[in-house]
Chain A
Amino acid sequence: MPAGTGLKDATAIVGIGQTPFARHLPEDERTLACRAVIAALDDAGIAPGEVDALASYTMEETDEVELAKAVGFGDLTFFSKIGFGGGGSCATVAHLASAIACGQATVGVAWRSRKRGSGPRPWTNTAVQLPTPAQWTRPFGLLRPADEIAMLARRWLHEYGATRDHLFNVALACRNRANQNPAAVMYERPLTREMYMSSRWISEPLCLYDNCLETDGALACVVVSAERARDCRRRPVYVHSAAQGLPAQHHGMVNYWNDDPLTGPAWTAARHLWKHADFTPPDVDVAQIYDAFTPLVPLSLEGYGFCARGEGGAFTEGGALETGGRLPLNTGGGGLSEAYVHGFNLINEGVKQLRGTSTAQVPGAATCLVTAGEGVPTSALLLRN
């Protein structure tokens, strides 16, 4: 095997699971995590006792020890936690794939459980507002991720002549797909341009519909070797390429002290991701792009090479992100309209597309890009069937 290609199609996602998504679920995060993990293992047809690897986010409150005891895992030989919130989603799968490909483990589970719909919101807690990097931003009232990303969004709109209609195109594509997905929080709740343009501001230039949902819910997926995957219940979805990205001189969320704040971590992850892939951006059939805020989508379209620098807004025109468009996007509804579970729903939706079981199925979809949070140290996956 040539150096640097060790991960290519060596592992596959063979099981996915999720709880319902809602503004409020009565169960706690640990219980939701157990439900999602058991559902994913059932989907794969793999017994919990065979699990020997775990990967999750550092912001996950359900720790490995508690999950392993509750679900009844076997002896674990690999466990990994990825930092930087939504930037970690794809890296959970990447870490499991790496561990399995090099023999550190055989069956890996990644998960995310979250109660941001009914639980506390970080920015309401003044005690945690000022860890030292925040001394440069928060005293001035730049308090929330929405404010921090809005600053980049304003500059991007200004520099490239993009418009709020471009951001609306992103919100609309996600909402339209959610309207096809009965599990989505925004199922049967259509969005119009009039609603978007007249909605309340969150942080100008971002309005209500530029922001993801506050959701309770949990998801999980199961990763095994490609060889093992052939014997599983479901059609394997191969991890074709995976990357993390933490650019030189990056400063999380407020990348304002970089030479070029508008080329964020997506650019770094993309260089590694495509270097090890057998296909290129025009060959991607469907994309699941992290959408905590609408501007992250055009910035990611530029970073992952679907268009040139500054053309992310124009790329969204003419229904490009809709079913049948140039790049069908966030086909479960994404963080904007299905559920915001730190992007893990994008991974599972990518698997559904390549199994042919999405509620907004792209006919014949064989390749899918999944990305994690942009604006923070990030990660991405190329999946294929």
Chain B
Amino acid sequence: MTATTTAPSAAPEHPRPAVRPPSNRLRAWATRAPLLPALIFMVVVTQLPFVATLVISFFDWNALYPDARSFTGFANYGDVLSDPALRKSVWTTILLTVAVVLVSLVLGLALALLLDRRFKGRGVVRTLLIAPFLVVPVAAALLWKHVLYNPEYGLLNGLLHYVGGPQPDWISNTPLLAVEASLVWQWTPFMMLILLAGLQSRDQQQIEAARVDGAGDWQIFVHLTLPHLRRYLELGALLGSIYIVQNFDAVFTITSGGLGTANLPYTVYQSFYQAHENGLASAAGVLVVIGSIIIATFALRVVSSLFREEVGRA
């Protein structure tokens, strides 16, 4: 992917001249040493807590009754999967993630195509479009909750007032949609930026050649641009999913998980922070991880295809 990736850096077996090997073993450790602090740190801070979560998930453990802690095997998982509220939050998480990723990807593609053309003030428009992505997530959620959605003095109803439209209470009427709209607003710029980078890396000679051969704009888009963008679309979907599956800020701020908008991260947060059900929360947490692994398996395949290209090209 980097134009200038140099060959040897991507070919580990490549022997490096001009370095006298003291002894093979010592040398191997010398090359490994710079990696170790980061690796050890990551294992301790991310993997150990997860193992602990896994262990806790097999216990019946309410933090308010610490003495009543007992091993229950898979009972917590049974409870989580049979609890309608939790099952609903699984469904909410899927709906939220899929809707936000798809809509922001399509909108982002449209915007990237618009911004790929040259017009007056393109840089300014690009800056205007990026801004939503740069507002602190809690601040963005507050903005939507109070400044835009408020039924009495929000901007949405204010504008509707001018055209004599209805004055709905957005968050009460369509809570999940309200959360999704705010997230689409935040994530569309991100998708646009990735896809714009993809558009600008197209092979212009190929497009010119197609045009000379009489291909129209639409044909060029379908047969050249889309295939080229495919990887960028996948990358955007993947990164968007990773972040939106874990979304906490918008749900917490806009609806506080009410009205059927509680997603899994919010539910896990609530079941230990408010209900003090450590075992249940952990089981739910492990389920979130299993869901993420499913996404991640797909994701890593995509990223590694991007990556193979770099190695292959080098």
* A-B interaction: no
Where the two chains meet, the residues of B that have a C-beta atom closer than 8 Å to any C-beta of A are none
